[in-house]
Structure 1
């Protein structure tokens, strides 16, 4: 098997992987969390706006406890993210299967709550029970939420499709009938969750979220927070997108929970009164690094491609396309370039489309590692926020500077490849003009 055949096989596998029911549900489920993460981020941003003297000014107006209402919003979004995730993934999976997504989502929530810790120990060693601890309802419980969501989805859909339900007469109102139809899968799910809770409690003095966090989530988060892990993430996104597969969706469906958990862990450090700058316990590679600093203008940091094209392009096709793509590119929409230039299967742009995001990742990583910019907290910005503005909102002027450097480097890397692409297009246009002139003369 030659290199081309191996590459084709790889792309075919990733294309099929992207269509797996679980992957689709995972991707769509996390998309459903966007209103909660972005909404919570806006309130966190107001509470932590990176402007010198801002906190003191607000405290003078509203008192020292002025952030409490804003942090309450964060507590009801980020701190219960696992609860949102278990319901959203179940909803998308069961809905795609044509089953009752609403009832399945509620069963998933209850199942997740069964396996969660139900007590905490205070600083005075007092055990408080009968609670839902936010420490496990948030980022620490995300992996458990994903597993529970898939388990509930499979069991619920199997029961519904195989009629393992209590069928009520047609005269019974539909709401009541749906409730009884969910009774058998509910009992199965609750029994399984109870058994899991008992095994963890009596054999290991732990719970499922605590066990999975220690065995799975912590190692995966650590791997995602390395330079090697980051390069694999951003490089694979570009390779797949160049090959016509939506790389950010495929890769994001797998790594987004980990990168988001990294952000939430950083936020926990701030909430505990610590700082992120030069803190070895803080995660460097977070969701915002990938979404904001590595993908300015879209996957491949194509805003650099647009700037390079506006500087050197002479062909009508590239010049007109880039002028049209400039405004969408400023808002991180690059489909006009991906499919219009195109970048997909374009040999001229394969190398920079992969290299540029990797270089941007390295620049951002080392900017944080050397202490120029602080690691990022849970604050997020809408994905359409223009570059430089997004960097400033996330990390002050340092974030804006890093984004400017990334854009400048991206433009420089893209320049020679854009020249080669433009030269080819210009030659084609000249040939077409010559042929048209000859045909007119005849």
Structure 2
């Protein structure tokens, strides 16, 4: 069994460390600064406080939030563009190939296969424009596919030296530009062929992928069962010593982000509800509720330990881990207690996130909380504060319920772990006491 288990972990590690997945993860991380900046402006335009909008209209006029919406639109609506650039850049960098040239060619390929016209409200076709609808959340899957495929093609040509070679002494920038010509030409040619074929069917690759792949994937990830699978895998892999969120969320995060952007677009048309077609599963559900204190919601374990622990190890680990835990960093307790490969902690480490996900899923499905839009805060934002910013006092209430629940569930398991550690500490100190006693008697 140990051999099978080790082989399973080895396979997971190899998958997690493939160049494609690492490029996807690192490339999509590039969108975070932009989305956080956009979130600040979007949050100011839509603070979850009753009467806030009416107050601003009364004092600043009907168009008080035009500039704020312009900034949020200029950030979230470029999500696919940033993704395709970042993914292709990091893939080429991992292959030790010029990343900038690769990223530029990938961007060109993305624009070739994307619509270059839009229909006005009057039904007129407007040419030579790039519709933002396809450069934002709805173009995310296309950006991933284009980013990976064009980067692979670019690296294939360059590593096999199927390029234009410049003589020695030519500046590196000029040399790289000429190296990119042949792979760039091939990529552009293939992209043009795809555009031409799909244009005959009155669509584009971006639209086709969105309808055939992205919409079904968004619907699948939005189910309760799909969410439970994500939550369980993240916790289980972390218990095995692997970074579960990095492995699971690498390919899933772009989909969840697209869900939140779609919710934002829906909110502009009217009340945002699940009944109106809003998605429940967004990054905020996992980052600020299911991962309070980190994967496994170990903040509840720390609180339980601080309330009752007797062993020195449990007390010290809890004290040292509390401050990082408040900022959703829980590696100190996961590897220090440890939770990793600890059979006693496996059940609560998985069941607490499952219960938490059920709570937040029902809260949104029943309308107690509104579905999340593109508004985000840094993932290190402490609970309570993040709940208030995202959902007002209702968000705070749900986070408090989750923390209390996690403390109650972890408590008996913490007590058993603490008892074992306390007995070990007593056993370790007993020989020393006997030795001292024998010296006194003599």
Partner of 2:8: 10
Distance 1:41 1:56 in 2: 21
C-alpha RMSD over aligned residues: 1.4
SS at match of 1:128: strand
Distance 1:151 1:412 in 2: 49
Instruction: Tell me whether 1:353 sits opposite 2:382 in the alignment.
Output: no
| Cα offsets for 1:99-133 (capped at 9, x unmatched) | 10011111111110000011111222111111111
- Of residues 190, 205, 217, the one that matches 2:214 is 217
How many angstroms does 1:8 deviate by? 4.2
Distance 1:158 1:137 in 2: 27
Distance 2:326 2:254 in 1: 27
Distance 2:105 2:274 in 1: 43
Partner of 2:265: 268
How many angstroms does 1:277 deviate by? 3.3
How many angstroms does 1:13 deviate by? 2.3
Q: Where in structure 2 are there 5+ consecutive unaligned residues?
A: none
How many angstroms does 1:310 deviate by? 1.1
Q: How many residue pairs align between the two structures?
A: 438
Partner of 2:58: 60
- Of residues 12, 15, 20, the one that matches 2:18 is 20
| Cα offsets for 1:162-191 (capped at 9, x unmatched) | 111111223433322221111111101100
Distance 1:171 1:416 in 2: 71
Partner of 1:386: 382
Partner of 1:362: 358
| Cα offsets for 1:190-222 (capped at 9, x unmatched) | 0010001011111x2211011111111111110
Distance 1:358 1:12 in 2: 26
Distance 1:52 1:66 in 2: 17
- Show the 5 A alignment for 1:310-329: 310-329=306-325
Structure 1 residues 231 and 278: CA distance shift in structure 2, 3 A: closer
Distance 2:7 2:217 in 1: 27
| Cα offsets for 1:234-271 (capped at 9, x unmatched) | 11000000000100000010210111111111001012
Instruction: Tell me whether 1:395 sits opposite 2:419 in the alignment.
Output: no
How many angstroms does 1:6 deviate by? 5.2
Partner of 1:104: 102
Partner of 1:306: 302
Partner of 1:126: 124
Distance 2:289 2:19 in 1: 30
Q: After alignment, is 274-283 or 184-193 more displaced? A: 274-283
Partner of 2:184: 186
How many angstroms does 1:151 deviate by? 0.9
Partner of 2:82: 84
Q: Where in structure 1 are there 5+ consecutive unaligned residues?
A: none
Distance 1:421 1:188 in 2: 61
Distance 1:237 1:370 in 2: 26
Distance 2:310 2:117 in 1: 68
| Cα offsets for 1:359-412 (capped at 9, x unmatched) | 100000101111111111110110111101111111111111111111111111
- Of residues 217, 242, 260, the one that matches 2:239 is 242
Instruction: Tell me whether 1:421 sits opposite 2:417 in the alignment.
Output: yes
Q: After alignment, is 241-250 or 324-333 more displaced? A: 324-333
Contact 1:332–1:386 (CA under 8 A) maintained in structure 2: yes
Distance 2:277 2:12 in 1: 34
Contact 2:236–2:350 (CA under 8 A) maintained in structure 1: yes
Distance 1:408 1:275 in 2: 31
Q: After alignment, is 236-245 or 168-177 more displaced? A: 168-177
Contact 1:277–1:373 (CA under 8 A) maintained in structure 2: no
Give the alignment's TM-score, normalised by structure 2. 0.96
Distance 1:152 1:237 in 2: 30
